[in-house]
């Protein structure tokens, strides 16, 4: 299947991505403080089972276990030299179980560091880190790259440039916004309009927002994005706000019923891709799939 066929599918109907991966890894025993990407080689069957559960739930595309797989992020675990290995393994695990007619996305998350002058890294260092990761994911036969959960537009653009320097498959981008009295802004103060303008200039075919926001708030954020672009938009909200229980367990405030209730609102606001972020599970995606079947593309 051509990597660009997902763009053809987007032109025909709403596409369904997967939900949270980190939540599912923790539910299956990933210890706190353990590098999630290491499980691509130490617990491959567990990772594959999670991917399979999302395909079974109705996802058109599932994203690799590589969110923190760039060299800079891996330094915290002493695994930076294993970046190509861990990302290639991540891609292989999805490719091995991907059903006919479905897609695999290669996930690239933020470095967790700041660019100069706020931080110690240069744009060139960020670009190189993302280039290495993107190359390994592309060689592992993913169909597209998803640069996700970016809170700094400068870093997102570094990721795009780095990925394009080493991979020739479609690149999608999602930013993470907070709702403020003045509108939606990233942690670094980037506005929706500013992000859309930058992605349009770089000819990013598909972009959007994920994480932090509830399904209702993210629908409003997508509506703001739609004012500035005609390109396909991605909406991947959290399952509400995370809360810490007395047993020190993280739970999310938004149940499945509320989450799926807002799917029509997200689509009406302009979303072409629906998915889930933190706290969402295969059951959230299963219910989202059932909801989408009742809505015209």
Please tell me what DSSP assigns to residue 76.
G
Interval 236-254 mean pLDDT:
74
Fold category of 5-293 in CATH: TIM Barrel (3.20.20)
pLDDT digits (tens, 9 = 90+) for 33-50: 999 999 999 999 999 999
**What is the rounded CA–CA span in Å between residue 92 and residue 89?**
5
- Output the six-digit token pair for 140: 């592992």
CA distance 125 to 286: 40
pLDDT above 80: residue 242: no
Helix, strand or coil for residue 250? strand
How many CA atoms, within 13 angstroms, populate the side-chain half-sphere of residue 289?
18
Task: State phi, psi for 252 to the nearest 5 degrees.
Answer: -115, 145
Let me know the angle formed at the C-alpha of 274 by 250 and 39, rounded to the nearest 5 degrees.
Answer: 50
What pTM was computed for the model? 0.96
Q: Containing H/E element for 149?
A: strand 144-150
pLDDT value, residue 246 = 59
Domain ranges across the chain: 5-293
pLDDT of residue 54 exceeding 90: yes
pLDDT tens-digit readout, 133-163: 999 999 999 999 999 999 999 999 999 999 9
């Amino acid at each position: 299947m051509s990597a660009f066929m997902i763009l053809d599918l987007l032109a025909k109907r709403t596409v369904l991505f997967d939900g949270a991966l980190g939540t599912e890894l923790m539910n299956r025993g990933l210890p706190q403080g353990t590098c999630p990407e290491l499980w691509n080689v130490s617990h491959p069957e567990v990772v594959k089972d999670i991917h399979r559960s999302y395909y079974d739930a109705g996802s058109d595309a599932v994203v690799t276990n590589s969110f923190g797989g760039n060299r800079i992020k891996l330094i915290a675990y002493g695994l930076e030299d294993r970046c190509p290995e861990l990302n290639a393994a991540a891609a292989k695990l999805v490719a091995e179980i991907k059903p006919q007619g479905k897609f695999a996305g290669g996930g690239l998350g933020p470095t967790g560091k700041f660019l100069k002058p706020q931080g110690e890294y240069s744009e060139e260092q960020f670009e190189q880190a993302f280039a290495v990761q993107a190359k390994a994911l592309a060689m592992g036969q993913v169909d597209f790259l998803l640069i996700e959960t970016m809170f700094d537009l400068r870093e997102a653009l570094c990721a795009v440039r780095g990925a394009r320097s080493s991979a020739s498959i479609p690149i999608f981008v999602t930013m993470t916004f907070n709702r403020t009295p003045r509108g939606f802004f990233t942690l670094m103060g980037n506005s929706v309009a500013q992000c859309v303008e930058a992605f349009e200039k770089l000819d990013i075919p598909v972009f959007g927002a994920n994480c932090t926001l509830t399904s209702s708030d993210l629908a409003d954020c997508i509506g703001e994005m739609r004012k500035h672009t005609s390109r396909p938009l991605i909406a991947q909200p959290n399952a509400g706000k995370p809360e810490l229980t007395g047993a020190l367990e993280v739970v999310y405030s938004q149940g499945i019923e509320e989450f799926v209730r807002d799917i029509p609102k997200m689509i009406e606001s302009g979303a072409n891709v629906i998915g889930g972020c933190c706290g969402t599970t295969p059951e959230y995606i299963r219910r989202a799939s059932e909801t989408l079947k009742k809505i015209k593309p």
